[in-house]
């Protein structure tokens, strides 16, 4: 059984970029709903793994779509909260910055490509910044509940939720404005740097608390 983790900041701390109303609904209703359904499906099983990462991978391997969708959404939202910060952190530093510059030329181009990919994504999903085993970083947009943790070649560094429930109360249909706020202000670069350091050491990085 998994719990709804607390937000790592006050629900009003991201205002005006993300409102208390959005976070109360997104965390308190949407994320909570995925956890509740996940626990319901797990209660029917005798082989439920103890970590959420393993539940996601098991559901994928068994092609159990209901379990996968709820387990992956539970994990993705936990990772999304960690990807946000109330204290704008400017720019990535160190090895992650070097990897972004190698892949995208410079930070401005990275933001431009991230916004274009996020805006261009059709319907619901997630915009991930990931690292592969070589340390190269890339942007990947995934549909619905899809998550890079089912691919052992990839480590997620940061994510932006592209589902309308993430931005509709604050930005209506203007997903691009929400992406601007994420890329310029909300993104937790210190967390992404820690994930990148873990990836370079072959470690798992952040895991959903049990
Ligand atoms: Fe969401």
Separation CA 129–CA 30 (nearest Å): 23
Ligand 1 center from residue 198 Cα (angstroms): 25
Ligand 1 center from residue 182 Cα (angstroms): 14
Which three-class secondary structure state does DSSP give residue 54? helix
Instruction: Provide the residue-wise pLDDT of the chain in tens; the chain has 210 residues.
Output: 999 999 999 999 999 999 999 999 999 999 999 999 999 999 999 989 999 999 999 999 999 999 999 999 999 999 999 999 999 999 999 999 999 999 999 999 999 999 999 999 999 999 999 999 999 999 999 999 999 999 999 999 999 999 999 999 999 999 999 999 999 999 999 999 999 999 999 999 999 999
Ligand 1 center from residue 21 Cα (angstroms): 14
Q: Go through the domains of the chain in sequence order and give each one's CATH number.
A: 20-82 (1.10.287.990), 94-200 (3.55.40.20)
If we measure between CA atoms, which residue out of 207, 185, 199, 204 comes closest to residue 99?
Answer: 199
Ligand 1 center from residue 162 Cα (angstroms): 7
Tokens of 50: 């103890």
Which three-class secondary structure state does DSSP give residue 67? helix
Ligand 1 center from residue 74 Cα (angstroms): 9
Q: How far is CA 91 from the centre of its chain?
A: 19
Ligand 1 center from residue 7 Cα (angstroms): 13
Question: What is the reported pLDDT for 161?
Answer: 98
Model-level pTM? 0.98
Ligand 1 center from residue 165 Cα (angstroms): 6
Ligand 1 center from residue 146 Cα (angstroms): 12
Ligand 1 center from residue 77 Cα (angstroms): 6
Ligand 1 center from residue 102 Cα (angstroms): 30
Question: What is the reported pLDDT for 91?
Answer: 96
Ligand 1 center from residue 105 Cα (angstroms): 30
Whether omega for the bond prior to residue 16 falls within 30 degrees of 0, making it cis, is yes
Separation CA 160–CA 146 (nearest Å): 13
**Residue 137 near residue 131, CB atoms below 8 Å:** yes
């Amino acid at each position: 059984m998994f719990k709804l983790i607390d937000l790592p900041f006050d629900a009003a701390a991201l205002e005006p970029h993300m409102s208390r109303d959005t976070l109360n609904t997104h965390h308190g209703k949407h994320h909570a709903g995925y956890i509740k359904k996940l626990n319901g499906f797990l209660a029917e099983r005798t082989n439920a793994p103890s970590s959420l990462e393993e539940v996601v991978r098991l559901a994928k391997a068994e092609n159990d779509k209901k379990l996968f969708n709820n387990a992956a959404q539970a994990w993705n939202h936990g990772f999304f909260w960690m990807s946000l910060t109330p204290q704008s952190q400017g720019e990535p530093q160190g090895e992650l910055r070097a990897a972004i510059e190698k892949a995208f030329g410079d930070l401005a181009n990275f933001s431009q490509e991230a916004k274009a990919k996020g805006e261009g994504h059709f319907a619901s999903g997630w915009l991930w910044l990931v690292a592969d085993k070589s340390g190269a970083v890339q942007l990947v947009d995934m549909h619905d509940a899809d998550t890079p943790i089912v691919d052992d070649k990839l480590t997620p560094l940061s994510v932006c939720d592209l589902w309308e429930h993430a931005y509709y109360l604050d930005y209506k249909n203007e997903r691009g404005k929400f992406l601007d706020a994420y890329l310029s202000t909300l993104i937790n670069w210190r967390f992404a740097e820690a994930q990148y350091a873990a990836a370079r050491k072959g470690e798992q990085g952040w895991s959903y608390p049990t």
